[in-house]
A and B are shown apart, each in its own frame.
Chain A
Amino acid sequence: MTQNQRIFAIIAALGTLLFILELVRRRRLKEEYSWLWILTSMTMIVLVSWYGLIEHISSLIGAVLPTTTLFIFALLFLLLISVHFSTVISRLSQQIRRLTQELAILSAERDGPAQKDHQSGDPRQRKDVAP
């Protein structure tokens, strides 16, 4: 790894880390979605600055150049972050579905007795029996 490569890699990783931390500080990014980013940039900083480690990993995974190792790690972490977001989106859409359904049920109840309803007592005091 040339000196230029190392300097550039360190600046890029440090810049990313500072940018993420600033976003969290300004509450533009929530803590729970920032930790993978922070982990990624810190891993990059460690890999770049600790030359012995990156050489060792390179020979371990069969990479010829240490820069390749760096790329592979960056790619792996980006993949992880994407999968993490997919799970977050799935959870969000599940929550939106639930909210929309509750809203729809309330709208139907508010409609008034368009027909004879078979309920005993106030529906709002009933708990959904579903798990």
Chain B
Amino acid sequence: MRLLVLLPAFNEASRIRRVLQAIRQEIQGDLLVVDDGSADDTAAEARLGGARVAVHPVNLGYGAALQTGYRYALRHGYDAVLQLDADGQHDPTSIPGLLAGLSAADVVVGSRFLEAGSYRPPFARRLGMWLFGKLASVLCGQRITDPTSGFQAVSREALHFYAHERYPADYPDADVLAMVARSGLRLTEVPVRMLASASGKSMHGGLIKPFYYVFRMSLALMLVPLRSHRR
């Protein structure tokens, strides 16, 4: 299987090499780092770490960075994409489990809540995850425990779906999973180990962002049943 390991990165120069090294010890596969308009040396560090680097000249957002990787993978004939965060939160030792899930599913989501050894996010965030997980579960018609997980394995079939303009540029999580399930793609969750981010910073941090996120995600989820998700 031709596998592309995809890491969207934004200002991760201090960690990206270590993360790439840890991944290399775990699996064979081409590494692609999508540098989403970083101000630091993320791109250079990633090249030193042995990855190909796709550089966004401007910051587009987490979802858009992922989509750049999906489009690259499609164009270069990869069979599957394994995506994980560049900050080292996603433990590479969980990768084999994710890839094994591809034999029976198109999108394999790594869930930190199915794995006892995972780091627990703070209460407020866990509450949000739980709520959106419930909503996504209803919309998907199957149980979703970790809707915000960016630790995923994606088959070529699903890459076509993800490369479409419907893929959100900012927060691709619960709504994307709901769209995937409703489009007829097979979706499954497997346990993965996640660690606390070393810097403690999160894309959902700040004072206003969490509120915007909740509003944004509620709107997207509400629209899921009203939109068509034909592949």
Within 8 Å of chain A (Cβ to Cβ): is B224?
Answer: no
Q: How large is the interface on B (under 10, 10 to 19, 20 to 34, 35 or more residues)?
A: 20 to 34
Contact indicator A118/B68 (Cβ below 8 Å): no
Residue of A nearest to B165 (CB): A94
Interface positions of A from 66 to 123, Cβ below 8 Å from B: 93-94, 96-98, 100-101, 103-105, 107-108, 111, 114-120, 123
Interface positions of B from 37 to 57, Cβ below 8 Å from A: 47, 50-57
Within 8 Å of chain B (Cβ to Cβ): is A32?
Answer: no
- Cross-interface CB contact of A131 among B35, B55, B160, B169, cutoff 8 Å: B160
Contact indicator B164/A131 (Cβ below 8 Å): yes
Within 8 Å of chain A (Cβ to Cβ): is B130?
Answer: no
| Residues of chain A contacted by B121 (CB below 8 angstroms) | none
**CB within 8 Å for A116 and B30 given contacts A101-B71, A123-B76:** yes
Contact indicator A120/B77 (Cβ below 8 Å): yes
| Residues of chain A contacted by B64 (CB below 8 angstroms) | 97, 100-101
Within 8 Å of chain B (Cβ to Cβ): is A130?
Answer: yes
| Residues of chain A contacted by B169 (CB below 8 angstroms) | 93, 97
Within 8 Å of chain A (Cβ to Cβ): is B67?
Answer: yes
| Residues of chain B contacted by A114 (CB below 8 angstroms) | 47, 50-52
Within 8 Å of chain B (Cβ to Cβ): is A64?
Answer: no
- Cross-interface CB contact of A123 among B68, B75, B78, cutoff 8 Å: B75
| Residues of chain A contacted by B30 (CB below 8 angstroms) | 115-118
| Residues of chain A contacted by B72 (CB below 8 angstroms) | 105, 108
| Residues of chain B contacted by A26 (CB below 8 angstroms) | none
| Residues of chain B contacted by A103 (CB below 8 angstroms) | 56-57
Q: Which of B50, B51, B68 has the most CB of A within 10 A?
A: B68
User: What's the least CB distance linking B126 to chain A, in Å?
Assistant: 31
User: What's the least CB distance linking A73 to chain B, in Å?
Assistant: 31
- Proximity bits, B127-160, A CB within 8 Å = 1, else 0: 0000000000000000000000000000000011
| Residues of chain B contacted by A119 (CB below 8 angstroms) | 76-77
Contact indicator A115/B52 (Cβ below 8 Å): yes
Contact indicator A100/B71 (Cβ below 8 Å): no
Contact indicator B77/A105 (Cβ below 8 Å): no
| Residues of chain A contacted by B68 (CB below 8 angstroms) | 100-101, 104-105
Instruction: Give complex CA distance A124, B51 in Å.
Output: 21
**CB within 8 Å for A111 and B52 given contacts A97-B169, A130-B163:** yes
Contact indicator A100/B76 (Cβ below 8 Å): no
Within 8 Å of chain B (Cβ to Cβ): is A61?
Answer: no
| Residues of chain A contacted by B165 (CB below 8 angstroms) | 94, 98
Contact indicator A100/B56 (Cβ below 8 Å): yes
A-B contact pairs, 10 of them (CB 8 A): A96-B58, A98-B165, A101-B68, A104-B56, A108-B72, A111-B47, A118-B77, A119-B77, A123-B75, A131-B164
Q: B residues engaging A (CB < 8 A)?
A: 2, 30-32, 34-35, 47, 50-58, 60, 64, 67-68, 71-72, 74-78, 159-160, 163-165, 169
